Homo-oligomer: A and B are copies of this chain.
Amino acid sequence: MEEKDLYLSNDRFAKHAGIVLTEVKPGYAKAQMKIKDFHMNSVNLVQGGAIFTLADYAFAAAANAYGRVALGVNVNISFLKAGISGTLYAECKEISKSYKLANYTVTVTDDDGDKVALFNGIVYLKS
């Protein structure tokens, strides 16, 4: 999957946020983010946008790994536990896929294995 990796490795915002893909295959991906000071919000918790970006990158990787361009249409995210330190892990699984639409769930966990966020996203698949 070298082409895919190349393609995805050009995601500058994910890079800017310190996120790394650790596994990608069609319909499945994992990413992680070591928590740094620049991820923090004003009350010293990992900012919601950083957690979203981590999950979103795994989602984009899984959805685009078939080779067709998949555009994010809608995402629902629930924040379950604050991120404080260590590393956050995102795992994306495919829920369903039709010709034009596909649905993915990403679970974000911390070093204790606790759920930090639950993310559900829909993509539109271009022809």
Contacts and interface: CB of A to CB of B under 8 A. Distances in A.
A124 B56 CA distance: 22
A112 interface: no
Given A56-B49, A95-B118, A100-B124, A42 B73 contact: no
**Total copies of this chain within the assembly:** 4
A88 interface: no
A60 interface: yes
A85 interface: no
A52 B42 CA distance: 17
Nearest to A46: B13
Instruction: Report whether over half of chain A's contact residues are helix, strand or loop; otherwise say mixed.
Output: mixed
A84 interface: no
A47 B39 contact: no
A42 B10 CA distance: 5
Nearest to A75: B77
